[in-house]
Structure 1
C-alpha cells in the first residue's frame, strides 16, 4: 500500500507555490516507425558498429544492421554521428530538490529513523526545472532516492519526460534505502569519546532492531498470526521475500562489513551505495552476491594519506575484483556530470566500453531491468545522438534524445537564458 506522508505532501504543496515548473512539453507517444541511418552505434552488448542503422517501432528497437527497412518510417541520417543508449543516473534526488538552500523546495527526506513505508516517488516533481538541464547531457532516466537516517524509505526509477508521476514511473523491484551511521573522528577528550561511541552503538542498535522487527512481522505474516497491520513492517515484506533490494549507503570497509554481517542472516539482496572501500572487502561482498553503486568518482580521496587520484581508480579496482558495479552521482542538478565522471575512469583503468556500460546496462541490471541500457533488438528505444564522445566534456554534443521512441525537446531554462542575454 502506497503511503503519502503528511509532511512530504505539505512541503510538496509549498514547493509548487514557490517554484514554477519548466515549460518544455512532454513528447507524444511514438506515432510511426523511426529509422536512424549510417551511424556509429555504441551498442554496449555487441561492440561498436560503424555505418549501421536501427529501426524503432512502438518505443522498442526492432532491427539493427547495415541495412534496415525504411518502409513507412521517418528517416534520420546520422552519418558521422554517434548513437548511445540513454544514460541512467543512480542515487539522485532529482525532482525532489529544486533549490537546495530552500527547505520548502527540498522534499528529499523525512523525520524519523525507520520509514520503510515512505515512497520518494510520492514527492517527485516531473516539472522540475532541473530535469531538462540534466537531459541535455544524455540522461534519460534517474533513480529518485529518499535521504535521511537509518531506513529512510524506498526509491523509484523515473523517466525524465512525463506529465505525471504515474507516467514517469518505471516498474522495478522494491528499493529500500538504509543509511549506515558514520563514526566521525574521535575527540581527544575521553569523556567525549565515550559519548561518540555510545551514540554510534545506539544507531547500530536501531538498525538491528528495525531488521529484527521487520523479520518477525514477516514470519508472523507467513504464519497468519498478524492481529494489527503495521505499515512499516508491511512495506518490508517484499524485502524478506526476496522481491526487493536493500541499498545500504556506506563507504568504509568497516561500515560495509557491519552491513553484511547484520543483513546476512536474512539473506537480503544487498547493494552498497557509495562503496569507496568496496574493493577492499571483495570476498565478503561476493559471498553474499552484493552489488555496488560507486558514487565518488569526482570526489576527493576519503583519507588524507591516499593518492590524489584514488577516487578515480576505484571503478577499475572494482572491475579487477570482479564485483558487479555501476557508477552513480549523488546529487540533483549536478547529476548532469555523470557521463563525465564515467569518462574520468577511462584515464584510470577502465576501458571506454566498460565506462559506458557502467552508466547504462550495468545500472539497469542493478535495478533488475533486462530491456534497458543497451542498443539491441527488444531493448527500449532510449537513445542519444551525439556529434562527439558523450564521455568527453570537450567533444560531447548531444543533438537528439529519445525516450521510449519519443524524441524529447532538448531546450531548457539555461539555454533560454543564454539566448536571452545574447540579445543584451
Structure 2
C-alpha cells in the first residue's frame, strides 16, 4: 500500500495528451555518461525520447510524472529468461519452452508467449521492460531453437522481435544420447559446415528455380521451415551457446575464427578463466552472478566476481537467469536486479552493473538501444532508491511511451486479504 500511495502522489496530470509524457525533477541515467543529468526533464512523444534536459520546460498538455529527485533509468532488460513461456513448470498446459518435434530444430517460442502471465506483471512491477526469452533443449541435438525478445507491454501480445539467434546447448548432461560432449561439438560443427556449403552453393548457382528472375533470393535463415543455422553463417544472427565449462567455452571461441560467425555465451560460469580470449573474439557473455555454487560439475569454477573479471577484460556482460533456477521465469525482474547488485558488490563498477541490465543485453542480442538519449525507445523506470538494491521499488514504469500499471497479483492478493479489523 505504501508503494501505491507513492505512485498516486507521483503521477499528476495536466490536460492529458495521449502522446506526450514528461518526467520532471529526475536523476536521469541516460547511459551516455557515467554521471546522471540532475533535475532533468524527460520529454516523451509518440513512443520516443525527445529530450533530456536539466531544468527543462514542460510542454503544455502533457502527462507529468514528478520523479522528485529519484533515479530514472532506461527500462531493465533480462538477458536470458523463460518469462512468458512457463507459469508453473509442473502444470504442462503452462509450460511451452521446448519442442518435441525431432524433425526440425528451428523451433521459435514466439507464438507461445503469454503476456497475461501473472509472472509478467510481477516482472514489470520490478522495472523489467524487455526480456530475451530462450527455448529449452529440443529433441534434435544440439539445438534448442530460436530465442525471441519480449516487450513487457500490457496485454497478451508481448512479442517484440523474433529471429534473434540460433540457440544451442553444450554440456551439462543435456544430450546423453550423444555420449561424449566431443560428439556434441561434432554435431554443431557439422551443422555449421553444411550451412556454409549451402550458402556457397546459393552464391555460385544464383536464385533457385521458381523464385522468379531479377529478384534476390529470400534472406537465409528467415523463411519458415528453412534451417535457421544458415542465418548464422550469413551473419544475420549470432549463434548462442548455453555452456559453462572452460574447455567448452574455448571450443565456442574457436567457432568464431573457423566459421567467421558471431557467438554469444549464455551461462558461462567459467568464462572468467578465458576473459581475454573472449574479448579478443568479441563474444558477449550473459551470466547470472547469483550462481556462485556449482550446480553441475561443469560449474566447478563458478565465482561471484566473474562479471567484474570479464568486464575488466573488455567482454560485454549482461545479466540473465539460466541453468535450472526458479528465477528463469519467477521473479525475473527482482532476481535480475539482485544479480546485478551482487556483481557490483563483488567488484563490478556500479555504472557497469547498470549497463549490464540496460544497454548490454540489447547490444549482445543485436537489438540496440537501452538508453535515454533523444530518439531512443521510451522505456524507462522511476525508482525510489538505488535500482540495484532488491528493497528498491519501481514507482512508475513507461513502456513504448505509455505509463503501465505496476500492480501485480501479489498486490491484488494483499489488498484482498488485508486485515481491516480495528
Q: Could you say which residue in structure 2 is the equivalent of 1:20?
A: none
SS across alignment from 1:301: coil
Count the aligned residue pairs: 381
Q: Could you say which residue in structure 2 is the equivalent of 1:177?
A: 167
Q: Could you say which residue in structure 2 is the equivalent of 1:320?
A: 312
Q: Is the 8 A contact 2:292 2:304 kept in 1?
A: no
Q: Could you say which residue in structure 2 is the equivalent of 1:397?
A: 393
Per-residue CA deviation, residues 46-66 of structure 1 (Å, 9 max, x unaligned), is: 221222211111111111112
2:118 pairs, out of 129, 132, 146, with: 129
Per-residue CA deviation, residues 226-262 of structure 1 (Å, 9 max, x unaligned), is: 6899966543332111111111111111111122234
Whole-Å separation in 2 of the counterparts to 1:159 and 1:327: 17
1:272 pairs, out of 255, 258, 265, with: 265
1:43 and 2:43 correspond: no
Whole-Å separation in 1 of the counterparts to 2:39 and 2:232: 46
Q: Is the 8 A contact 1:343 1:391 kept in 2?
A: yes
| Structure 1: 5+ residue stretches without partners | 1-29, 185-194
Q: Could you say which residue in structure 1 is the equivalent of 2:404?
A: 408
Would the alpha carbon gap of residues 329 and 291 (structure 1) be closer, same or farther in structure 2, given more than 3 Å must change? Answer: same
SS across alignment from 1:389: coil
Q: Could you say which residue in structure 2 is the equivalent of 1:191?
A: none
SS across alignment from 1:53: strand
Whole-Å separation in 2 of the counterparts to 1:113 and 1:217: 22
- For residues 34-183 of structure 1, what are the structure 2 equivalents within 5 Å? 34-46=21-33, 47-72=35-60, 73-111=62-100, 115-149=104-138, 150-165=142-157, 168-171=158-161, 174-182=164-172
Q: Could you say which residue in structure 2 is the equivalent of 1:354?
A: 352
Q: Could you say which residue in structure 2 is the equivalent of 1:250?
A: 243
SS across alignment from 1:108: coil
Would the alpha carbon gap of residues 349 and 309 (structure 1) be closer, same or farther in structure 2, given more than 3 Å must change? Answer: farther
SS across alignment from 1:212: helix
1:376 pairs, out of 373, 378, 384, with: 373
Q: Could you say which residue in structure 2 is the equivalent of 1:366?
A: 364
| Structure 2: 5+ residue stretches without partners | 1-16, 211-219, 323-327
SS across alignment from 1:354: helix
Q: Is the 8 A contact 2:269 2:302 kept in 1?
A: no
Would the alpha carbon gap of residues 83 and 319 (structure 1) be closer, same or farther in structure 2, given more than 3 Å must change? Answer: same
- For residues 272-291 of structure 1, what are the structure 2 equivalents within 5 Å? 272-291=265-284
Whole-Å separation in 1 of the counterparts to 2:182 and 2:52: 56
Per-residue CA deviation, residues 114-168 of structure 1 (Å, 9 max, x unaligned), is: 8442212122112212100111110001111111051111111111114454xx3
Q: Could you say which residue in structure 1 is the equivalent of 2:190?
A: 209
- For residues 282-301 of structure 1, what are the structure 2 equivalents within 5 Å? 282-295=275-288, 297-301=289-293
Q: Could you say which residue in structure 1 is the equivalent of 2:252?
A: 259
Per-residue CA deviation, residues 307-342 of structure 1 (Å, 9 max, x unaligned), is: x99632111010121111211123011322101110
Give TM-score, length-normalised by structure 2.
0.82
My pick for the range that moved more, 356-365 or 35-44, is 35-44
Whole-Å separation in 2 of the counterparts to 1:310 and 1:324: 18
Q: Could you say which residue in structure 2 is the equivalent of 1:11?
A: none
Would the alpha carbon gap of residues 374 and 406 (structure 1) be closer, same or farther in structure 2, given more than 3 Å must change? Answer: same
SS across alignment from 2:417: helix
SS across alignment from 1:75: strand
Q: Could you say which residue in structure 1 is the equivalent of 2:216?
A: none
Whole-Å separation in 1 of the counterparts to 2:209 and 2:36: 58
Q: Is the 8 A contact 1:173 1:367 kept in 2?
A: no
Q: Is the 8 A contact 2:96 2:112 kept in 1?
A: yes
Would the alpha carbon gap of residues 257 and 112 (structure 1) be closer, same or farther in structure 2, given more than 3 Å must change? Answer: farther
1:241 and 2:237 correspond: no
| Cα RMSD, aligned residues only | 3.0
Whole-Å separation in 2 of the counterparts to 1:116 and 1:223: 27
Q: Is the 8 A contact 1:173 1:368 kept in 2?
A: no
Whole-Å separation in 1 of the counterparts to 2:293 and 2:194: 37
SS across alignment from 1:62: strand
